[in-house]
Amino acid sequence: MPIPASTAPLARSLAREEVYRSLKHWIVELQLAPGEILRDHELALQLGVSRTPVREALRQLEDEGLVLTSFHKWTKVAPSNLADIAQLYPVVAALEAAALELALPRMTSADLQALDACNAALAQAIAAQDQQLAPSLDAQFHAIIVRISQNLEIEKMLAGLRPRIRRIELAHFGDQRMAPQSVAEHAAIIAALRAGDGRAAVQLIKQNWSLPPDLLQLAATTAAT
């Protein structure tokens, strides 16, 4: 799969962070396919920058598990392994449960209204089959809780995991989590918070990240082959 042809060259003053964001977006959204060879000179030419910020961005993406490098041989987009879902989902569930526990004493009525509004927008996006907006709103719902927790370490860890999960889901399912079930589970979390039942809310957010039985079986089968 080639570098997206519609991408306008970026300004030469572009920082490495901006190069990194562009490459990460292409990889996560599958514009750069799993296993595709990445040539720094081609990427630099397309982005209108020198090879140095591209190489730095590729090293950062390698640290995040999105790029693989064989020294002096090749650099390529990391494979999209379905079996990794079984490893990633429980970690995200534990981190978000910890964030919610920290957020409980800080949660305000305005925060609950923000969660409600986000979930309502998510329901509309799913009904409209808006595959760009729906994932963003789902992520926004969870980000609100993480923000309220005021724990930057949890926020950083989740920021590194979510793109890997989204890429795998897009590659294998189109987007596994974008379903009305997510809206219902979010609504249950909000209801538990409004009722003052923090323990139930924590269990519900873990459930929101539980693997459906069919996906769990498929992931296990993939790992065994």
In a domain, 6, yes or no: no
Length of the chain: 225
| Same-domain check for residues 65 and 102 | no
Domain shared by 20 and 123, yes or no: no
Contact (Cβ atoms closer than 8 angstroms) between residue 157 and residue 149: no
H/E stretch holding 56:
helix 51-63
Residue recorded with tokens 């927790």: 149
Q: Is 52 helix (H, G, I), strand (E, B) or coil?
A: helix
The CATH code of the domain that includes 50 is 1.10.10.10
Does 52 share its domain with 107? no
Asked if 119 and 141 count as a contact pair (C-beta separation under 8 A), the reply is yes
Instruction: Look at the chain and report how many structural domains it folds into.
Output: 2
3-class SS of residue 72: coil
> Residue 4: inside a domain, yes or no?
no
Instruction: Return phi, psi of residue 98, to 5°.
Output: -65, -40
Please work out, in degrees rounded to the nearest 5, the angle formed at the alpha carbon of residue 82 by the alpha carbons of 80 and 88: 95
Whole-model pTM above 0.85?
no
Q: Which domain holds residue 153?
A: 84-224
By three-state DSSP, how is residue 87 classified?
helix
Tell me what pLDDT residue 76 has: 95
What pLDDT tens digit does each residue of the chain (225 aa) get? 566 666 665 554 456 788 999 999 999 988 999 999 999 999 998 888 888 999 999 999 999 889 999 877 899 999 887 778 888 889 999 999 999 999 999 999 999 999 999 999 999 988 888 877 888 898 899 999 999 999 999 999 999 898 888 888 777 665 545 567 889 999 999 999 999 999 999 999 999 988 765 655 655 565 555
Crossing angle of the two packed helices 180-194 and 198-208, in degrees rounded to 10? 170
Task: For residues 103 and 58, state if they share a domain.
Answer: no
